Structure 1
Amino acid sequence: MSKRNKNIPLVRRENVEFFASLFEELDKKTYALLRESTIPLDIHDNPDYAYLPESCLKNFMEVLGESLSNDKLGVLFWRSCRETYVPKFVSLLTGGTTVREALQEFSDLLKRESSGANVYLQKSGGSWWLVREKAGADEVWFKYAELFSVMCMAEVLRALTDNAWRPTRIGVRSSDIEDFSSLPTLEQAQFFAERPVTALEIPEALLDEKAVITHTASQVFAANHYAEQSDDSFAATFKQAITPYVSVGKLPIKLAAEILRMNVRTLQRKLESEGIIYKTLIEEMVFDQIKHRLTSSSDSITSIANKFGYSDAAHFSRSFKRITGLTPSHFRKHHRK
Structure 2
Amino acid sequence: MTMTNPKIPLVSKESVEFFASMFKELDQRSYDLLRKATLPNDIHKETNYLCLPESSLKNFMEVLGESLENDRLGIVFLRSCRETFIPKMVGVLTQNQSLKAALEEFCEVLKQESTGAHVCVENSGGKWWLVRHKSKSDEVWFKYAEMFSVMFMAELLRVLTSNRWTPTIIGIQDSSAEDFKKLPTLGKATFSVERPVTALEIPQPLIDLPINLQSVEQSKLLLGQLDLGEEASYVDQFRLAMRPYLSMGKLPITLAAQILRTNVRTLQRKLKKEDRIYQELIEEMVFDEIKECLTSTDFPVTQVASQFGYSDSAHFGRSFKRVTGLTPTQYRAQRA
User: Normalization by structure 1: what TM-score?
Assistant: 0.94
**Structure with larger RCO (C-alpha < 8 A, sep 6+):** 2
Which residue number in structure 2 is paired with residue 305 of structure 1? 305
**Deviation string, structure 1 residues 55-105 (Cα, Å, up to 9, x no partner):** 111111111111111111111111211221111101111143321111111
Once residues 126 and 28 of structure 1 are traced to their aligned partners in structure 2, the CA distance between those partners, rounded to angstroms, is 48
8 Å CA contact 1:128, 1:203 repeated in 2: yes
8 Å CA contact 2:136, 2:173 repeated in 1: no
8 Å CA contact 1:129, 1:202 repeated in 2: yes
Bigger mean CA deviation after superposition, 79-88 or 264-273: 79-88
Matched, 1:188 2:178: no
**Secondary structure, aligned partner of 2:224:** coil
Matched, 1:122 2:122: yes
**Deviation string, structure 1 residues 225-246 (Cα, Å, up to 9, x no partner):** 8334325321111111111111
Percent identity (aligned): 57
Q: How does 1:272-287 map to 2 (within 5 A)?
A: 272-287=272-287
Q: Given residue 100 of structure 2, which amino acid in structure 1 is its aligned partner? A: R
Once residues 246 and 68 of structure 1 are traced to their aligned partners in structure 2, the CA distance between those partners, rounded to angstroms, is 30
Kindly state the Cα deviation for residue 32 of structure 1 after the two structures are TM-superposed: 0.9
**Deviation string, structure 1 residues 224-278 (Cα, Å, up to 9, x no partner):** 8833432532111111111111113111111100111111010011111112111
In structure 2, list runs of 5 or more residues that go unmatched: none
Kindly state the Cα deviation for residue 223 of structure 1 after the two structures are TM-superposed: 4.8
Which residue number in structure 1 is paired with residue 224 of structure 2? 226
Once residues 3 and 161 of structure 2 are traced to their aligned partners in structure 1, the CA distance between those partners, rounded to angstroms, is 36
8 Å CA contact 2:107, 2:118 repeated in 1: yes
Q: 4+ residue runs of structure 1 moved beyond 4 angstroms?
A: none
8 Å CA contact 1:137, 1:174 repeated in 2: no
Aligned pairs, number: 333
Bigger mean CA deviation after superposition, 93-102 or 249-258: 93-102
Q: How does 1:187-336 map to 2 (within 5 A)?
A: 187-217=187-217, 220-223=218-221, 226-230=224-228, 232-336=232-336
8 Å CA contact 1:128, 1:201 repeated in 2: yes
8 Å CA contact 2:50, 2:223 repeated in 1: no
Once residues 186 and 85 of structure 2 are traced to their aligned partners in structure 1, the CA distance between those partners, rounded to angstroms, is 18
**Structure 1 206/140 Cα, relative in aligned 2: closer, same or farther at 3 Å?**
same
Once residues 87 and 20 of structure 1 are traced to their aligned partners in structure 2, the CA distance between those partners, rounded to angstroms, is 18
Once residues 84 and 300 of structure 1 are traced to their aligned partners in structure 2, the CA distance between those partners, rounded to angstroms, is 38
**Secondary structure, aligned partner of 1:92:** coil
8 Å CA contact 1:92, 1:215 repeated in 2: no
Q: Given residue 317 of structure 1, which amino acid in structure 2 is its aligned partner? A: G
Once residues 177 and 40 of structure 1 are traced to their aligned partners in structure 2, the CA distance between those partners, rounded to angstroms, is 33
Bigger mean CA deviation after superposition, 239-248 or 301-310: 301-310
User: Normalization by structure 2: what TM-score?
Assistant: 0.94
Kindly state the Cα deviation for residue 3 of structure 1 after the two structures are TM-superposed: 7.6
In structure 1, list runs of 5 or more residues that go unmatched: none
Once residues 222 and 17 of structure 2 are traced to their aligned partners in structure 1, the CA distance between those partners, rounded to angstroms, is 19
Aligned Cα root-mean-square deviation (Å): 1.8
**Structure 1 49/114 Cα, relative in aligned 2: closer, same or farther at 3 Å?**
same
Which residue number in structure 2 is paired with residue 19 of structure 1? 19
8 Å CA contact 2:61, 2:145 repeated in 1: yes
Kindly state the Cα deviation for residue 26 of structure 1 after the two structures are TM-superposed: 1.1
**Structure 1 76/330 Cα, relative in aligned 2: closer, same or farther at 3 Å?**
same
Bigger mean CA deviation after superposition, 223-232 or 111-120: 223-232
